[in-house]
Amino acid sequence: MFLTDGELSEIKMFRRELHRNPEVSGEEAKTALRVTEVLSTTGPDQIVAGIGGHGLAAVYEGVTSGPTMMIRAELDGLPIEEIGDIPHRSTVPGRGHLCGHDGHMAILMALAKGLGRRRPARGRVVLMFQPAEENGAGAAAVLADPKFASLMPDMSLSLHNFPGIPLGHVLLKEGHVNCASQGMKVVLKGKTSHASYPEQGTAPTFVLARLLGDLTALGNNRPLGPDYSLVTVTHARLGEPAFGISPGEAQIWATLRTLTDEAMAALVSRAEQLVLTEAKAGRLQVEISYEDVFHQCYNSAEAVTVLRRALGDEGVSHDKTSSLLPMKASEDFGLFRTVAPAAMFFLGAGEDHPRLHNPDYDFPDELIATGSRVFMRAIRNILG
């Protein structure tokens, strides 16, 4: 390990501090400020703040010119009440670091300490603390920010902890690793009337009822492959909670999911056509909007090769193929592949560990050393 036991202990305490103070997507101002304060002690050549919202990046310049390697972690927590009884349990009601982003940030902070002590021989390393991963908005905002141009990577790497596999074991494969998904919000508008004269209004009741089944039926839920699709209705509402009013408005929310971006475009087209047809038949106005948009996450061959070599050099057990990859869950890191080769590996959090987004989840501190060793080895192998 490139850190002393004392330094590693400090980073674990930093991780637990972050865990106690989670902020959700788009609200990570205090988290970013605290990360900046600790990063500053490592002596980076540059800290770029306010990227894509509350994002920030620390730059460590090599001795000579060369490629730029970017290592990415996430700043945000989740709008979930934590129920665990750990000493560092969240102090923010209704908020929790229940996906492990606090641990991912700690891994990058370990890298910062190592890079502050010994710069790369050439090129530079960019440690990117990205905002708003959980709602799919962060990576797109970072890429669209003019400040990102000066940080443009030649390769991007990331990780995500993965409960359900042995602690410290790694899953890594080339190709698709996460699905595309997006939240479709449909608002149907008719006209209210007195409940005793429903014929005097235009109620969306029957259109809503048909869409609940018909939207779901658009998905096939086949084994993950190019033709896979899934539509999950997550919320529906009809009218107001009153007995005297025939409803004049309804909402239905559904998550659309496919393996590829191309399949997502086709699924969106079919879903919109279905909604528009039903709304027209029911003499309703309709509004369709999208939130939580995630593109496919695809591991580039070049970046996977770099990670496999680092895993081997560090003696970290790993699978080149796995029935667990690709996974149905989404991850917005995939967008960084649009500017340079990119890959993410999945680091085991324990076979019996609480699952991601469970209210009693906590990131295993043991993974800080493993994750940071793999990344530092990848940096040294490429940049020296």
* pLDDT tens readout for residues 201-250: 999 999 999 999 999 999 998 999 999 999 999 999 999 999 999 999 99
Task: Quote the tokens at residue 16.
Answer: 């637990």
pLDDT at 341: 98
Tell whether 166 and 210 lie within a shared domain. Answer: no
Q: Count the domains in the chain.
A: 2
What is the mean predicted confidence (pLDDT) over 2-9? Answer: 94
Task: Quote the tokens at residue 59.
Answer: 């730059």
First to last CA, the chain: 17
pLDDT at 94: 97
Its domain, for residue 15, covers 5-178+296-383
Tell whether 193 and 88 lie within a shared domain. Answer: no
Tell whether 78 and 13 lie within a shared domain. Answer: yes
Backbone φ and ψ for 71, nearest 5 degrees, come out as: -115, 130
Q: In percent, how much of the chain has pLDDT > 90?
A: 97
- d(CA 118, CA 128) in angstroms, rounded, equals 19
The answer to whether the CB of 327 falls within 8 A of the CB of 175 is: no
pLDDT at 10: 97
Chain position carrying tokens 């029911």: 282
pLDDT at 323: 85
Tell whether 221 and 128 lie within a shared domain. Answer: no
Tell whether 131 and 11 lie within a shared domain. Answer: yes
Tell whether 248 and 166 lie within a shared domain. Answer: no
Give the distance, in angstroms, between the CA of residue 169 and the centroid of all CA atoms in the same chain. 21
Domain's final residue, options 233, 267, 294: 294
- Output the domain CATH number for residue 265: 3.30.70.360
* pLDDT tens readout for residues 50-68: 999 999 999 999 999 999 9
With vertex at residue 74, the alpha carbon angle to CA 378 and CA 294, rounded to the nearest 5 degrees, is: 100
Task: Quote the tokens at residue 344.
Answer: 């993410």
pLDDT at 117: 96
**What average pLDDT does the chain have?**
97
pLDDT at 321: 76
Tell whether 32 and 153 lie within a shared domain. Answer: yes
What is the mean predicted confidence (pLDDT) over 84-101? Answer: 96
Tell whether 188 and 114 lie within a shared domain. Answer: no
- Sign of the dihedral defined by the CA atoms of residues 138, 141, 145, 151, in that order: positive
* pLDDT tens readout for residues 302-360: 999 999 999 999 999 999 778 899 999 999 999 999 999 999 999 999 999 999 999 99
* pLDDT tens readout for residues 255-306: 999 999 999 999 999 999 999 999 999 999 999 999 999 999 999 999 999 9
pLDDT at 320: 77
- Half-sphere exposure of residue 371: CA atoms within 13 angstroms, side-chain side: 35
- d(CA 134, CA 294) in angstroms, rounded, equals 10
- Sign of the dihedral defined by the CA atoms of residues 365, 366, 371, 376, in that order: positive
